[in-house]
Structure 1
Amino acid sequence: MDRLRDKIVPVTTLLVILVVAWYAFAVLLNSPFQRDLDRRAGETPGTVEFIGKTLTQTKPTLPSPDQVATNFFENTFLRKITSNRSLIYHSWVTLSSTLLGFAFGTVLGIVIAVGIVHVTTLDRSLMPWIIASQTIPILAVAPMIIVVLAAVGITGLIPKALISTYLSFFPVAVGMVKGLRSPELMHLDLMHTYNASRSQTFWKLRMPASVPFLFTSMKVAVAASLVGAIVGELPTGAVAGIGAKLLAAAYYSQSIDMWSALVAGSVVAALLVVAVGIVGRFVERSMGGRPA
């Protein structure tokens, strides 16, 4: 009970502070436009009425939390899933490319990590390039990937998945390299004493030791993969997906829809991270690991 309270109280306190700050900034940023509206209408509202108006604008600069929550609820639970306004529909479109890119990125990251650990040349030559690749902004890479693949007739899901792969393979590769190198020298010497081959050492020692590192890095990778999928939807002119929803909302100055789509993306990211964590705990327990 004490452990649960120690977790809930800090999170709840931080959430309350963020909501209060959000309301304060909403009033602050929406005030200039509201003052202009009141001046044109010849009105002089009181402080409470003025604050209420700033928090109920149709197209606010910064929507209030209750406006975003209402919009999110309506477009999630009160719309048909097939509706173009449904956040579930847009989230599913983005999720499909996210999962495909995450799968590609995980496999690629594991393969690269195995190569780096077992081949010294790859460790010295490939690792610096992998690190350097992540210094290039994804917003600069995404249009190039889209254009090049479109030139050879590849459009739709694959380009977005490849952008997700670009972002997701790096944390998996780094985490797996650390995990595969985590066994102590004493354990490696013991395997050598038993005359174990490199393959046996890998599967019986290095791989089990790397599992916690793998799933920790996969949590980062799946969130990065979602970001890649959303960014990949921006230059493609996509009509569906969280990225397309954000782009349309920005074009028509629908700030409430924009923030609602951001919340939807955050919810999807949180669910994906939780799902990876659950799978990770299941795998560790099946391998004899102790529950935390």
Structure 2
Amino acid sequence: MSDAAVPLRSRIWAGQVIPVVVVVAAIIAIWYAGAVWLNAPWALDQAGRDEVELSATELVADTWSQERPVLPAPHQVVQDLWKSTIGTRITSKRSLFRHAWITLSATLAGFALGSGLGILLAVGIVHDRTMNASVMPWVIASQTIPILAIAPMIIVVLNSIGISGLLPKAIISMYLSFFPVVVGMVKGLRSPNKMLLDQMHTWNASRSQTFWRLRLPSAVPYLFTSLKIGVAASLVGAIIGELPTGAVAGLGARMLSGSYYGQTVQIWSALVMAAILAAVLVALVGVAERATLRMMGGR
């Protein structure tokens, strides 16, 4: 028996894999049932027009194979994903990899801007009472504005001064991603208890020494947790930023064109690709977290 097989078996028996498989299977089963329920009226209407009676088996088969279903079946989405990724050249305008890369570019730019802004605001809020009293309420209030309402305004204002392309989408991504970073970083920087802070004061440590040697290491787990939320929010912001711009490329543009032409399978394949992209980004942040904690002497 190989060494790699032992951890896998232990994880299965420990109940870490089977529950996930059960939940995924249940979701797929509900999805198929929902496709039958939502697509059946159109199938029955067409059969009535043709004066044909459909058996239960024929009805189910029809609801799972319609060209423009209300809810596509899972296998239809998988087929479209395969066709628009593996079955299409990456340079083609129909390639979902190309659309994903365009959205990913705006996501990473917005995530970098949002994370940097969030960390700087958090440091200022923790170390300055004026910023804590004035900036933090505005940070919280900023998230009460619906992003669908503010995104078109950002696009119009930036276009009026000649800024278009990647930057407007990155700013919308930044707007969504900076908030969890601010909140998580503030919580982390304030996590050291009073006894540790008094100990640093006893050692005559300066504010910068206390920050670098106590507050920042204590904030690292909080930071990475908020970064996982922020990178997913940044992806959502990039997709939303593509909707009011009339963009012809990107996952948001792919969804929008699918809604224009009634291509629901195309919309769902773009949604699944966005979900896969978000999972990969969160996993990469998790890898960076484990590497950072290992370098700091953690496990």
The answer, yes or no, to whether TM exceeds 0.5 is yes
Aligned residues with identical type, % of pairs? 57
Q: Which residue of 2 aligns with 1:141?
A: 150
Matched, 1:205 2:222: no
Matches within 5 A, 1:182-201: 182-201=191-210
**Which of 169, 172, 181 pairs up with 2:178?**
169
Matched, 1:262 2:271: yes
Tell me the distance in 1 between the aligned counterparts of 2:33 and 2:263: 20
CA RMSD of aligned residues (A): 0.8
CA shift for structure 1 position 123: 1.0
Give the counterpart letter for 1:142 in structure 2: A
Q: When the two structures are aligned, how many residues end up with a matched partner?
A: 290
* DSSP 3-state at the match of 1:62: coil
Give the counterpart letter for 2:281 in structure 1: L
Tell me the distance in 2 between the aligned counterparts of 1:141 and 1:289: 42
Matched, 1:280 2:277: no
Give the counterpart letter for 2:258 in structure 1: A
Q: Which residue of 1 aligns with 2:6?
A: none
Between 1-10 and 78-87, the greater mean CA deviation after superposition: 1-10
**Which of 197, 220, 230 pairs up with 2:239?**
230
Q: Which residue of 2 aligns with 1:83?
A: 92
* DSSP 3-state at the match of 1:57: coil
Moved >3 Å (runs of 4+): 1-5
**Which of 42, 45, 53 pairs up with 1:36?**
45
Q: Which residue of 2 aligns with 1:117?
A: 126
**Which of 72, 77, 82 pairs up with 1:68?**
77
Matches within 5 A, 1:3-42: 3-5=11-13, 6-42=15-51
Matches within 5 A, 1:237-256: 237-256=246-265
Tell me the distance in 2 between the aligned counterparts of 1:173 and 1:147: 27
Tell me the distance in 2 between the aligned counterparts of 1:145 and 1:122: 26
Tell me the distance in 2 between the aligned counterparts of 1:18 and 1:36: 28
Report the CA distance shift for 1:47/1:84 in structure 2 as closer, same or farther (over 3 A).
same
Tell me the distance in 1 between the aligned counterparts of 2:75 and 2:141: 42
* DSSP 3-state at the match of 1:126: helix
Q: Deviations over 1:19-68 (max 9, x none)?
A: 11001110000011111111111110211011101110000000000100
CA shift for structure 1 position 154: 0.4
Q: Deviations over 1:187-225 (max 9, x none)?
A: 111110110000000001001110111011000000000
Structure 2: 5+ residue runs without aligned partners?
Answer: 1-8
Structure 1: 5+ residue runs without aligned partners?
Answer: none
Tell me the distance in 2 between the aligned counterparts of 1:18 and 1:220: 23
Tell me the distance in 1 between the aligned counterparts of 2:16 and 2:144: 35
